Structure 1
Amino acid sequence: MTQEWIQHSVIFNLKHKKGSEEARQFLADGQEILSSIPVVKNFRVYRQVSAKNDYDYGFSMEFANQEEYETYNAHPLHTAFVQERWVTEVERFLEIDYQL
């Protein structure tokens, strides 16, 4: 990893009931769609289990540098997922980006 490396993560709650088929489908679709963007590395889907916050799920991915991160943000698959799924199905979220 270089100093430019970025780990992008987001924890979130869905409008769907936790553990429902709709929630499962959202997580599966998110993984399939977002991990298919060429600059995305090490995409992971998590179930959040800490008692210290009340979020339910997480997505995490890595980028080699800021340019790749910006490419991801502007990619048509990402923007479509945000507009068509994220805005309509996510209740609330917290986004965190890390760099070494």
Structure 2
Amino acid sequence: MVIFDLAREEGSVEETAFLRDGERILTSIPVVRAFGAFRQTSAKNDYRLGFSMEFDSRADYEAYNAHPAHVSFVEERWQKEVSRFLEIDFDLDGATAPREGAGQ
């Protein structure tokens, strides 16, 4: 997942185009699963937008990062249009269910 702001006006045509282009380009990479492009709704977070995706393995994640479509998107769009971001990567390998009673 990555949450981010664009150096574009909120709700602008350019913002919408960035989200659509991101989805089109990044989902063209064969290892990308369950892609989503989102607009933030929570008052607990001041980032406006987000992309999420899943990968079947760490190798697929690394292949995505090195894929020419991803590299090109980052160089030609992301670095020019994103004003700030926070990347959040989760690895579910070896994750365990919460212990009974945890968090109660």
Structure 1 and Structure 2 fold alike (TM over 0.5): yes
Structure 2: unaligned runs, 5 residues or longer: 93-104
Q: Which whole-Å CA distance do the structure 1 matches of 2:54 and 2:39 have between them? A: 18
CA RMSD of aligned residues (A): 0.5
Q: Which whole-Å CA distance do the structure 2 matches of 1:50 and 1:98 have between them? A: 21
Q: Which whole-Å CA distance do the structure 1 matches of 2:41 and 2:86 have between them? A: 15
Indicate which of 68, 81, 85 corresponds to 1:76: 68
Q: Which has the higher strand share?
A: 1
2:36 aligns to what?
Answer: 44
Per the TM alignment, residue 49 of structure 1 is displaced from its structure 2 partner at its CA by 1.0
| Structure 2 letter corresponding to 1:64 | D
Larger radius of gyration: 2
Q: Which whole-Å CA distance do the structure 1 matches of 2:90 and 2:62 have between them? A: 15
Structure 1: unaligned runs, 5 residues or longer: 1-8
1:57 aligns with 2:49: yes
Per the TM alignment, residue 99 of structure 1 is displaced from its structure 2 partner at its CA by 2.0
Runs of 4+ in 1 over 2 A off after TM superposition: none
Say which structure, 1 or 2, has more relative contact order (CA 8 Å, 6+ apart).
Answer: 1
TM-score with structure 2 setting the length? 0.87
2:79 aligns to what?
Answer: 87
TM-score with structure 1 setting the length? 0.90
2:19 aligns to what?
Answer: 27
Per the TM alignment, residue 53 of structure 1 is displaced from its structure 2 partner at its CA by 1.5
